Amino acid sequence: MNDPKHDFDFFVGRWRIENQRLRHRLQHSNDWEHFEANQEMRLLPGGIGNYDDFLAPSWRPGFVGMSLRLFNPQTQLWSIYWLDNTNAGLDGAGSLMPPVVGKFENGIGIFECDDELDGKPILVRYKWFDTDTETPRWEQAMSADQGKTWEVNWRMQMFRQ
């Protein structure tokens, strides 16, 4: 059995990413935008976790995104925070927004949290696939019905550089 604190070690390094992102979320839309991005992931010391940067100048010039993934050795779960230079990933009080939390099982990573969209409660899910290849995949989905149905609104296909 692998040590779960190494679950994201596959992602260390530089990546070219093909993105498909739904322009209108939870509106039964099929209007997808396509763009490329670059990402580089680095480990934090002592098995604490890792972070990456996300740059997509052809999509949004000047936009910088960052994922911060922290591993809790007591719960064996990952907490993933999304930060960017548009809202910093902070709430009105200046605290980090709640992370998606989860783990990998049978080669698939599932991470979820409660959130809001347009003032209404939703669930958010990140999912990782094909992490044992040079072309892992990630997707984000949202649910407005407590997880009965999910709408995928962002897909990323990664290619190691």
Nearest to 52 by CA among 108, 94, 109, 9: 9
Q: Which helix (H) or strand (E) holds 23?
A: none
Count Cβ atoms within 10 A of the Cβ of residue 100 and give its class: 0-12 exposed, 13-18 middle, 19 or more buried. buried
Q: What's the pTM?
A: 0.94
State the residue range of the domain holding 101. Answer: 4-156
Structural domains in the chain (count): 1
Q: Residue 87 above 90 pLDDT?
A: no
The beta-strand segments (E) located in 12-150 are: 13-22, 32-43, 49-55, 64-72, 77-84, 100-105, 108-117, 120-129, 137-143
Can you give the CATH number for the domain in which 44 is found?
Answer: 2.40.128.20
Could you tell me if residue 161 is inside a domain?
A: no
Give the pLDDT confidence score for residue 1 in this predicted structure. 54
Could you tell me if residue 33 is inside a domain?
A: yes
Could you tell me if residue 15 is inside a domain?
A: yes
Could you tell me if residue 49 is inside a domain?
A: yes
Average pLDDT rounded to a whole number, residues 5-30: 96
Could you tell me if residue 96 is inside a domain?
A: yes
Could you tell me if residue 92 is inside a domain?
A: yes
pLDDT digits (tens, 9 = 90+) for 49-58: 999 999 999 9
pLDDT digits (tens, 9 = 90+) for 95-146: 899 999 999 999 999 999 999 999 999 999 999 999 999 999 999 999 999 9
